[in-house]
Structure 1
């Protein structure tokens, strides 16, 4: 087990990282994932109208196109899991930024069928 400490004086040191648990909370000295003192409450899912909107965009990406998936209304963990499933079904890379899933390339047809199989209402937006 590797532990790293940060010293801010001659005699004070505190644990900041452990290979067993990852990052450590400086206040309660528990792993950040199970920290109770910081009040890290997960943000609720953003409001949505129930329609998932798909679009294709190249603006600001040097001509490279991405498929944008908006309006899912999921929390961050569920959004990351769905993004992983969609990237695998498309055979492409991507990311989640500000509640929007970006998948590299034009995969609107594949994403539409995958989301409809999950029971979501999908609408194409843009060009």
Structure 2
């Protein structure tokens, strides 16, 4: 028990390591392409499209997400450097991203 790591304190609340968050912030691929993934896990069967691989230092993710959501006519969010768009119209999302100058690949099935 001497190796235990403190994760919560009644004085300051939850204690998170800053190193873990900085690693998950941006997942940029070596080939420079964005990936559009489909995910239903933990969403009660409702599918969302995940846009992964955008460098958050070069692009404003919130602004880009707002443009995509309005053009797609669907909701979504930005979480941990990943843009989530509700629904499953990956071809339309791919065309919108390519129109803005991104190299895009559809990942998964």
Task: Give your verdict on TM over 0.5.
Answer: yes
Match of 1:108 among 76, 84, 90: 90
The aligned runs of 1:22-37 (5 Å cut-off) are: none
Count the aligned residue pairs: 84
Q: Which moved more, 1:103-112 or 1:74-83?
A: 74-83
Partner of 1:79: 61
Q: TM-score, with normalisation over the residues of structure 2? A: 0.70
**Which of the two has greater helix per residue?**
2
Quote how far apart the aligned CAs of 1:107 are. Answer: 2.2
Cα contact 2:27–2:54 (8 A) shared by 1? no
SS in 2 for 1:73: coil
Name structure 2 gaps, 5 residues minimum. 1-21
State the distance in 1 between where 2:56 and 2:100 align.
14
Quote how far apart the aligned CAs of 1:53 are. Answer: 0.2
**Which of the two has greater strand per residue?**
1
Q: TM-score, with normalisation over the residues of structure 1? A: 0.60
The aligned runs of 1:1-127 (5 Å cut-off) are: 46=26, 48=28, 49=30, 50-75=32-57, 78-127=60-109
Name structure 1 gaps, 5 residues minimum. 1-42
Change over 3 Å in CA distance of 1:64–1:47 after alignment to 2: closer
Per-residue Cα deviation, 1:45-99 (whole angstroms, up to 9, x for no partner): 8462311000111011000000110001124970000000000011000000001
Change over 3 Å in CA distance of 1:76–1:59 after alignment to 2: farther
Change over 3 Å in CA distance of 1:76–1:94 after alignment to 2: farther
Q: Compute the RMSD of aligned alpha carbons.
A: 2.1
